[in-house]
Structure 1
């Protein structure tokens, strides 16, 4: 079916049929699908309507009304949710009555009753097929038993063609966009584009303007073969953006090789990156290809590239300039066709001025620099990501439902996230475990409150260091404090402040001492010595 035929199908729908006729192709995809679920909610007088797209073994909400904000960040594994599995595998409308013993995936997530978590009492859903292929499911949930009677189920069945048509328009729009991008790329002489199929995700969750701007930049530069330098704080997920560059490039069918430059010992770095021949050094009993050769025809991702020793930087520069590598101990270089994507949480310009990073290599790597925004600049994305991690922990811990209350949501939005997405992941997992340790029933709707999140009261500043002192290590204020014998000595106050910084930096870094040391601006070995002196384990 062409775009015009879909538009005619939608526009010929009777106006009194839930108002679906206004879902024309002139609406943006997100607006169209959101309006669709809104109209369904009004038509069936229920509390929640969710449209979920099938992605591998999971169902991910693409439009929802009536659920808490963090629910949109969740991916519901089909195997773990029998109601969704039953709906997905059938072709008819499926109804689950109040007496159904199958758990509802939205228990505790439906917005109503002043935010109190309530189980769903009536549910129906249907699988959505587009052009004969299964696309996802549509679910409707109500808190009042008996909401979805026989007439409601018949009405949902009658609505299905318009639901499928709205989805089809969105898919066609995505395909048109891909074709346009390919045409622009071809006209620019960049050799075509390996565009992804609509709906492909690389694990990047969020709707904020800051994130969407970066994703747009990534998608544009992916179609070229230019080197890309991803810059951003630790924990922002730069590896996911590198993966997206690869998947949306002409090299998508080739390998993507990940190299953590910070984990490469200087003595082995050259061999790991460029390979070696037999006899090149003690223990080299066979020829071995390096990471660059392994990435032929694809992409090599140099994570934490700022940690490379200067001796290796010179060899890397040659590879970028000439497109060739020379194995350690070999006489001749080997040609390699590799795209380089690098990432760093350091300011490489400063490293250049300090003489620890080559200026010529910096300019080669930063042909197209992209700044990955920290979590504190992404607004409500923190709730979507929290929802994703809540669902992961719910499944991992065998809980019926895991949700946030209003106070916890506000705390997440206030906090500055010096450790970014990685810190949020640790906070969600730790809070869930803390509730389990208090003896909550796994069959109940488990609610995370602000007190179990254990967040610092002061949000982190732009460098991720403000507010690092935890409540138990707060620094006494000089304002209003009386001097005298009762006041702690200067050394004790300094140690108390240092102890708070070290503990919170380690917590934000997920226990990674090297990352915590970088945030604090000291050497990792010195951090270990400082922690030992302060009694921090």
Structure 2
């Protein structure tokens, strides 16, 4: 059996047609799986000594969220070093990165594996991987035929990456450009609202506008800030981080603007503040809603005039800083309540971004779970960490009030639990390894815990439990939401959002 001219021509045409690169890549690996009659195929992008899946066929969905480092995957390292078609022997001792990740074959190891490195000139930009359960599946195809496929895929991937580079650098048509992989913070997610967020990040990153990033606790606002900075002309300069919620009022001004020797007790030398450290770069102010009104006024002055004064110094210093701010509060409500300055709000929210909660991101939950599974595998020195189909369904059924941060902790905890019940380096995560109720609310005395309804649906039971806990807290705190949030050890803004989602308030 060999590739016909019609097959090769069909692949080439598919790679030149379609609305977007993702479309073409998906059709490519689906076609290859059919033509080669293999069990799984994948197109991977190479960046910073790791392979990142772009399109898969025949593999578990969480593979799209996994990041395969060369150090953690010897077969992929061999493909990266080869420079040509790699055929792994059926009895190879090197673990296959997809072992256990082909649906329906979770307990079996892949037997036939071919790797095709993809190059743009001398630069490795990606790889095609082909896997089958039958050891002789690819023997009928010559290396020359596989090189033709590799060349077609490499050309398409190179064009896609070059277009991405040109767009991110806002380069004009005709300007000289050599292909270089663009370093960027990896934001995992293919849901429509995440794709929209990535598009908005790309648009605003190239500008010098201040950005207000809003979203619930644990959604990844800091990751958004990093992405904006890395996509901006300031990327070569510092990104300086400051958590406003962790700032004691007594040192907050000094942290922001610095101080001179003798400005106050303990000021034994001159000290630069975060604005000076971020000069010509970006300053990320996390939890901006926690700043006092007095500091908000001083921050507004910096944004308006571009100069700062160190504590205890009469002189002004000029700074060139782009400010990115993040909050889990509704700052419009804070403005109406008099807790946040309206003029500062408008200065910060020139280009507002909203990070969607995990419960609104659909199948991104599975992709992110795959990413955290791979992290755990490397950290704990395991050979495989696999999500069962039951575990994937379980993760999709939960509401994730703690968002991505809660998912990360849930996966890490599940891996530890599953490892304790198995010998060897393979871990298979089942639904029972995830116990979400523990992270929903603060612990209560057994006698105080609300009774759960007799139902078979985990989400309904969880939501009933949350409603009863909130009602109980409100009752004990005279319907004061802030006091109830403290009693439940959660953020008041998140408590309001949760209550709205549960239908407890308008």
TM-score (norm 1): 0.80
How much has 1:345 moved relative to structure 2?
Answer: 0.2
CA contact 1:66–1:110 (8 Å) conserved in 2: yes
How much has 1:359 moved relative to structure 2?
Answer: 2.0
Equivalent residue for 2:214?
231
From 296, 301, 311, give the equivalent of 1:318.
Answer: 301
Equivalent residue for 2:117?
127
Q: Distance in 1 between matches of 2:197 and 2:135?
A: 45
Number of residue pairs the alignment of both structures matches? 464
Matches within 5 A, 1:84-233: 84-113=76-105, 116-149=106-139, 151-178=141-168, 181-183=170-172, 199-233=182-216
Please give the per-residue CA displacement for 1:343-402, whole angstroms capped at 9, x wherever unaligned. 000111222222222222212211221111111111111111110000000111111111
Equivalent residue for 2:451?
476
Change (3 A) 1:496 1:442: farther
CA contact 1:19–1:39 (8 Å) conserved in 2: no
Please give the per-residue CA displacement for 1:397-421, whole angstroms capped at 9, x wherever unaligned. 1111111111111111111110000
CA contact 2:183–2:230 (8 Å) conserved in 1: no
How much has 1:223 moved relative to structure 2?
Answer: 2.0
Q: Distance in 2 between matches of 1:52 and 1:299?
A: 32
How much has 1:15 moved relative to structure 2?
Answer: 2.3
Q: Does 1:449 pair with 2:430?
A: yes
How much has 1:267 moved relative to structure 2?
Answer: 0.4
Instruction: Please identify, of 345-354 and 301-310, the stretch whose mean Cα deviation from structure 2 is larger.
Output: 345-354
Q: Distance in 2 between matches of 1:199 and 1:326?
A: 37
Q: Distance in 2 between matches of 1:395 and 1:145?
A: 28
Equivalent residue for 2:476?
none
Secondary structure of the residue that 1:51 maps to in structure 2?
A: strand
From 333, 336, 359, give the equivalent of 1:353.
Answer: 336
Unaligned runs of 5+ in 2: 174-178, 456-467, 474-484, 497-506
**Alpha carbon RMSD of aligned pairs, Å?**
3.1
Equivalent residue for 1:534?
none
Q: Distance in 1 between matches of 2:142 and 2:60?
A: 25
Unaligned runs of 5+ in 1: 1-12, 185-195, 481-492, 499-508, 522-537
CA contact 1:234–1:515 (8 Å) conserved in 2: no
Secondary structure of the residue that 2:323 maps to in structure 1?
A: strand
Matches within 5 A, 1:193-342: 199-342=182-325
Q: Distance in 2 between matches of 1:136 and 1:123?
A: 16
Q: Distance in 2 between matches of 1:470 and 1:33?
A: 54
Q: Distance in 2 between matches of 1:68 and 1:156?
A: 25
CA contact 1:48–1:67 (8 Å) conserved in 2: yes
From 8, 15, 23, give the equivalent of 2:14.
Answer: 23
Please give the per-residue CA displacement for 1:160-195, whole angstroms capped at 9, x wherever unaligned. 22122222232343245346x4559xxxxxxxxxxx
How much has 1:135 moved relative to structure 2?
Answer: 1.1
Change (3 A) 1:291 1:219: same
Please give the per-residue CA displacement for 1:460-517, whole angstroms capped at 9, x wherever unaligned. 9xxx88x99999986236999xxxxxxxxxxxx979966xxxxxxxxxx9xxx97557
TM-score (norm 2): 0.85
How much has 1:285 moved relative to structure 2?
Answer: 1.6
Equivalent residue for 2:501?
none
Equivalent residue for 1:47?
39
Q: Distance in 2 between matches of 1:494 and 1:41?
A: 51
CA contact 1:104–1:120 (8 Å) conserved in 2: yes
How much has 1:336 moved relative to structure 2?
Answer: 0.7
Secondary structure of the residue that 2:436 maps to in structure 1?
A: coil
CA contact 1:37–1:50 (8 Å) conserved in 2: yes
Q: Does 1:365 pair with 2:357?
A: no
